[in-house]
């Protein structure tokens, strides 16, 4: 940034790090905050990004891809993560499959939907009780480090990892009529 | 319509076959290290049993021990990663009913190297034989067709099943083969050692040496 290079947005940094680590398969259930990332990945021929009907399905796809040699990451919002406890506990963790997840965080810092607020509170307890590595990304200057190091770690330790994108990073979603 | 030109049958007309027997028959048509993903329930038990041989057990099988409904998505992930390898998802009726949209996802990707075999006993057999929706009017082959999987059909009997599998292993899919099966007990029980299952499968896929 000090060298005059244009500052990259969070989603551009994420795209670049995924590419560096050869993470090319991107099933997702969309979310408004993830939109710029999804658009970027869909526009780039390096990636195979497509929507699935349920997050569970996406997790299964990433697991199969990993075992057959392709790295994948699942994109979703907090409410989508809440549908995954069983699949994480019965597939990713016991089979030692490094499921990679990006969750755009709803339910905090200005949430207007009480359901989103409540379901968001289940996310970190689920991750913690399964001992799944997770990081809440709040600042632009830490995006690259957190993603780069954690993808390496997931692959090296065969453990899932969850990147939680805080509204502090993304701006989140605010009530608009 | 590729699969059904000769003798299309409805679910009611399809012969009730045996899970172990057709799994065994299926395996005899696999000559190119095809991947097989066995779903939860008895689907993977008989896959485990049928894959036993004097040279050890087939490495290219993956056995789910939970994650009910994910045999098709896992198979799709494998198929996406290795487009030259044929991949089979072996899934029970109760399980696929839990993740029906996965059929549409396979159709939307037009995943040519993927075959889905549905073992339909009309029951959640492993949990005590309670009726599933396929015993109450839901036709998985019809659902598959409506989801965009045009090459979907019921196997009339064992020889029709063999014909279908042979063809699916040679020609472009995606394919879905519906098999009505009885409620006999499986022949063996899958060893519940997930990291070993995963390791063996990755070696079978050539991902680990
Ligand atoms: C999410 C979830 N719900 C329920 C169960 C309990 N369960 C395990 S196997 C099974 C039945 C599977 O039925 P089907 O796929 O038809 O196979 P079958 O038992 O007939 O071989 C059920 C309900 C589970 N493991 N996971």
Identify the pLDDT of residue B3: 52
Instruction: State which residues form the domain around A139.
Output: 12-170
Identify the pLDDT of residue B167: 98
Q: Is the pLDDT of residue A1 over 60?
A: no
CB atoms within 10 A of CB A157: 12
CATH code where residue B139 lies: 3.40.50.970
Identify the pLDDT of residue A154: 98
Kindly report, residue by residue over A2-18, the tens digit of the pLDDT: 567 789 999 999 999 99
Instruction: State which residues form the domain around B81.
Output: 19-204
Identify the pLDDT of residue B131: 98
Q: What's the domain count of chain A?
A: 1
**Bigger pLDDT: B6 or B177?**
B177
CATH code where residue A23 lies: 3.40.50.970
Q: Give the 3-state secondary structure percentages of chain B, helix then strand then coil, rounded to 5.
A: 40, 15, 45
In this complex, do B195 and A94 lie within 8 Å of one another by their Cβ atoms? yes
Identify the pLDDT of residue A2: 55
Mutate to test the pocket of ligand 1, among B94, B119, B120, B121 (most ligand atoms within 8 A of CB): B94
Chain A hits for B66, Cβ within 8 Å:
86-87, 89-91, 94
- Is A6 within a domain? no
Q: Is the pLDDT of residue B150 over 90?
A: yes
Kindly report, residue by residue over B14-51, the tens digit of the pLDDT: 999 999 999 999 999 999 999 999 999 999 999 999 99
CA of A5 vs chain B CAs: smallest distance (Å)? 36
Identify the pLDDT of residue B1: 41
Identify the pLDDT of residue A175: 75
Q: What is the mean pLDDT of chain A?
A: 96
Give me the mean pLDDT over the B60-64 stretch.
Answer: 98
Q: Is the pLDDT of residue A176 over 90?
A: no
- Is B172 within a domain? yes
**Structure tokens belonging to residue A91:** 């597939």
Give me the mean pLDDT over the B157-173 stretch.
Answer: 98
Identify the pLDDT of residue A73: 99
Cα–Cα distance for residue pair A65/B73, rounded to 1 Å: 10
Identify the pLDDT of residue B163: 97
For residue B61, the cross-strand partners are B36
In this complex, do A94 and B206 lie within 8 Å of one another by their Cβ atoms? no
Identify the pLDDT of residue A37: 98
Give me the mean pLDDT over the B159-181 stretch.
Answer: 98
Task: Give the number of the atom of ligand 1 that is nearest the alpha carbon of residue B94.
Answer: 16
Chain A hits for B195, Cβ within 8 Å:
94-96
Residue nearest atom 8 in ligand 1 by C-alpha distance:
B41
Identify the pLDDT of residue A5: 75
In this complex, do B77 and A65 lie within 8 Å of one another by their Cβ atoms? yes
Cα–Cα distance for residue pair B200/B208, rounded to 1 Å: 9
In this complex, do B77 and A48 lie within 8 Å of one another by their Cβ atoms? no
- Is B1 within a domain? no
Residues 6+ apart with CB under 8 A from B196: none
The CA-based angle B125-A63-A31, given to 5 degrees, is: 105
The interface pTM score, or ipTM, of the predicted complex is 0.97
Q: Is the pLDDT of residue A43 over 50?
A: yes
Closest-CA residue of chain B to A49: B109
Identify the pLDDT of residue A177: 61
- Is A128 within a domain? yes
With a pLDDT cut of 70, the percent of chain B lying above it is 97
Q: Closest Cα partner for A14 from A75, A61, A57? A: A75
Give me the mean pLDDT over the A167-171 stretch.
Answer: 97
> Between B19-27 and B43-50, two packed helices, what is the crossing angle to 10 degrees?
50
With a pLDDT cut of 90, the percent of chain A lying above it is 93
- Is A131 within a domain? yes
Kindly report, residue by residue over A30-42, the tens digit of the pLDDT: 999 999 999 999 9
Q: Closest Cα partner for B9 from B157, B135, B169? A: B157
Mutate to test the pocket of ligand 1, among B40, B187, B192 (most ligand atoms within 8 A of CB): B40
Q: What's the domain count of chain B?
A: 1
Identify the pLDDT of residue B74: 99
**Structure tokens belonging to residue A165:** 């994108």
Q: Is the pLDDT of residue B4 over 80?
A: no
Identify the pLDDT of residue A131: 98
Identify the pLDDT of residue B168: 98
Q: What is the mean pLDDT of chain B?
A: 96
- Is B181 within a domain? yes
**Structure tokens belonging to residue B157:** 């009997």
Kindly report, residue by residue over B97-143, the tens digit of the pLDDT: 999 999 999 999 999 999 999 999 999 999 999 999 999 999 999 99
Cα–Cα distance for residue pair B170/A89, rounded to 1 Å: 36
Give me the mean pLDDT over the A47-69 stretch.
Answer: 98
Residues 6+ apart with CB under 8 A from A103: A76, A77, A78, A80, A81, A123, A162, A163, A164, A165
Q: Is the CB of B202 under 6 A from ligand 1?
A: no
In this complex, do A87 and B65 lie within 8 Å of one another by their Cβ atoms? no
**Bigger pLDDT: A6 or A54?**
A54
Closest-CA residue of chain B to A62: B77
- pLDDT tier, A173 (very low <50, low <70, confident <90, very high otherwise): confident
Identify the pLDDT of residue B2: 47
Q: Is the CB of B22 under 6 A from ligand 1?
A: no
**Bigger pLDDT: A91 or A175?**
A91
């Amino acid at each position: 940034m000090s060298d005059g290079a244009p500052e990259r947005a969070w989603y551009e940094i994420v795209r670049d790090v995924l590419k560096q680590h050869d993470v090319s398969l991107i099933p997702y259930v969309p979310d408004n905050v993830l939109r710029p990332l999804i658009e970027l990945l869909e526009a780039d021929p390096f990636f195979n990004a497509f929507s699935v009907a349920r997050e569970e399905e996406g997790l299964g796809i990433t697991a199969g891809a990993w075992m057959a040699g392709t790295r994948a990451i699942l994109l979703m919002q907090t409410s989508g993560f809440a549908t995954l406890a069983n699949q994480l506990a019965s597939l990713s963790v016991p089979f030692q499959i490094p499921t990679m997840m990006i969750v755009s965080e709803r339910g905090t810092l200005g949430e207007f939907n009480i359901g989103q607020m409540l379901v968001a509170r289940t996310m970190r307890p689920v991750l913690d009780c399964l001992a799944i590595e997770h990081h809440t990304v709040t600042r632009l200057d830490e995006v690259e480090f957190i993603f780069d190091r954690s993808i390496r770690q997931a692959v090296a330790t065969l453990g899932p990892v969850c990147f939680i994108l805080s509204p502090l990073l993304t701006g989140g979603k605010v009530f608009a009529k | 319509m590729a699969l059904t030109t000769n003798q299309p049958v409805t679910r009611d007309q399809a012969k009730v076959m045996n899970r172990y027997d057709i799994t065994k028959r299926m395996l005899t048509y696999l000559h190119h290290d095809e991947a097989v993903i066995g779903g939860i329930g008895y689907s993977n038990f008989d896959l485990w049993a049928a894959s036993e041989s004097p040279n050890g057990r087939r490495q290219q099988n993956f056995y789910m021990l939970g994650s009910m409904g994910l045999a098709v998505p896992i198979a799709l992930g494998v198929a996406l990663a290795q487009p030259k390898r044929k991949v089979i998802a072996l899934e029970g009726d109760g399980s696929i009913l839990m993740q029906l949209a996965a059929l549409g996802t396979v159709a939307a990707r037009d995943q040519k190297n993927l075959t889905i075999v549905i073992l339909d006993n009309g029951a959640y057999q492993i949990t005590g034989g309670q009726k599933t929706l396929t015993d109450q009017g839901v036709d998985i082959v019809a659902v598959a067709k409506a989801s965009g999987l045009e090459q979907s059909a019921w196997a009339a009997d064992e020889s029709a099943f063999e014909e279908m599998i042979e063809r699916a292993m040679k020609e472009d899919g995606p394919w879905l083969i519906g098999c009505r099966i009885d409620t006999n007990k499986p022949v063996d029980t899958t060893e519940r050692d997930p990291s070993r299952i995963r390791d063996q499968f990755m070696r079978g896929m050539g991902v680990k040496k």
